[in-house]
Structure 1
Amino acid sequence: MRLHGSARRLTIFIGEDDTHHGKPLYAEIVQRARRGGLAGATVLRGIEGYGASSHLHTSRLLSLSQDLPLAIVIVDEAERIDAFVGELDELIDEGLVILDDVEVYRYVGRSEGEQGESGR
């Protein structure tokens, strides 16, 4: 089954070494999103990038292979995302946050009762 609708995407760009009270910042953000009941969150690890400081972070050079860029992507209803953004103020010291409206196509499996001959 395919569900379709409007949503908002929150993308947070931080460094892999960023922390909050000694815990990886990306893990704290994902846990808060989960506790807040947001639909889902994914952390993507970049292989190369730079930010406002223009300092290159790359996995190609051993000496620079730390603090790789991360992108945390969360998609949910606009109101729920907007409410969650306020929590980021206390968590992020340096980074970039992007909000954009998106169209979502969600594919969900059939429940056991809906499976016909081919589902057996």
Structure 2
Amino acid sequence: MDEECLKLSTYLAERRRTDNGFVSDVLLGLYQGHRVASSVLLRGVGGFGTGRHYRSDQSLTLSEDPPVLITAVDSRPVIEGLFDDVLAVQQRGLVTLERARLLRGEIGALELADGLHEAVKLTIYLGRKERVYGVPAYIAICDLMHRRHIAGASVFLGVDGVAHGQRRRARFFGVNADVPLMVVVVGSGELIGRVLPELGGLLEQPMITLERVRVCKRDGALLEPPHPLPKADEHGLPLWQKLSVYTSESARRGGVPIHRALVQRLWRRKTPDGATVLRGIWGFHGDHP
């Protein structure tokens, strides 16, 4: 199945509460009630939000109340149907909507739209226990992408979420086999279009989103700056741009990890509304594992 979908993302502090409990728990309960196709809660290791409270993994004090990201994905009618309820829950933080294509079920050859030929972000939603040929599915997917010369992939393990309408959360005591995760792949639309049928054949219940992206910089070389956008879309909603930086934890600038240096610089500028650092558990970029 290939359909238009929306990605609803909420950025907030982990300890943010309402009268009914933690905001993250209330939101995921809402997504479960609406039987959202997929939702993943990712716990950040650093960043800041609209309140400008700086959080970092460099000390215990700065790591308290870290940022979290909750992403919900489903068809446009489903996401639009719960959007007002999400806004009613969220007190502080940032809520965004992004357009994407949702692929699930049997995935065959795909004709990419014109806007997807240049560069694509491919996100695969999995459970931690899913396996392919005896190995974790996320490792098999990264291996496939590397063999097909895709630019890069990163794996992010969730701590809570919804899969096919069912709640999946990590427990302190337990193997946490059903905890959701995301594999984020970035590469040329042409190469990703070719690998999609092969990827679909690996998974029992594939759930994948495709989004148009622009690769601005790679391996230190500036390719092109972000293009300017109009202030609003055809529905009058304001248009923003999201900048994603994929880097290794060992990469340094001035002796400081790049992810930490970037967040510090953005925080001091006081112009972005927020930044969140997510630590991957697997992946590669180019020929680097």
Q: Which amino acid aligns with 2:196?
A: V
C-alpha deviation, 1:62, in angstroms: 2.9
Q: Which has the higher strand share?
A: 1
Q: Which amino acid aligns with 1:62?
A: F
Structure 2 equivalent of residue 24 of structure 1: 136
Would the aligned equivalents of 1:57 and 1:66 in 2 still touch at CA under 8 Å? no
| Greater mean alpha carbon deviation, residues 58-67 or residues 22-31 | 58-67
Would the aligned equivalents of 1:7 and 1:104 in 2 still touch at CA under 8 Å? yes
C-alpha deviation, 1:63, in angstroms: 4.3
Structure 2 equivalent of residue 51 of structure 1: 163
The root-mean-square deviation of aligned C-alpha atoms, in Å, is: 1.8
Give the secondary-structure state (helix, strand or coil) at the position aligned to 2:141: helix
Would the aligned equivalents of 2:127 and 2:177 in 1 still touch at CA under 8 Å? no
Deviations 1:68-97 (A, max 9, x none): 111101111110111111111211111310
Deviations 1:12-36 (A, max 9, x none): 0011100112111110010010011
Q: Does 2:196 correspond to 1:88?
A: no
Give the gaps of 5 or more residues in structure 2. 1-117, 222-289
Greater RCO, CA 8 A, separation 6+: 1
Q: So what's the TM-score if we normalise by structure 1?
A: 0.77
Structure 1 Cα separation of the partners of residues 135 and 126 of structure 2: 14
Give the gaps of 5 or more residues in structure 1. 1-5, 111-120
Would the aligned equivalents of 1:43 and 1:71 in 2 still touch at CA under 8 Å? yes
Number of matched pairs = 104
Q: 1:12 aligns with which of 100, 121, 124?
A: 124
Q: 1:37 aligns with which of 143, 149, 159?
A: 149
C-alpha deviation, 1:65, in angstroms: 2.7
Alpha carbons of structure 1 residues 107 and 33: separation in structure 2 relative to 1, 3 Å: closer
Q: Which amino acid aligns with 1:36?
A: R
Q: 1:101 aligns with which of 212, 216, 223?
A: 212
Q: Percent identity?
A: 30
Alpha carbons of structure 1 residues 101 and 74: separation in structure 2 relative to 1, 3 Å: same
Structure 1 equivalent of residue 66 of structure 2: none
Q: Which amino acid aligns with 2:159?
A: I
Structure 1 Cα separation of the partners of residues 211 and 177 of structure 2: 29
Structure 2 equivalent of residue 68 of structure 1: 179
Would the aligned equivalents of 1:8 and 1:100 in 2 still touch at CA under 8 Å? yes
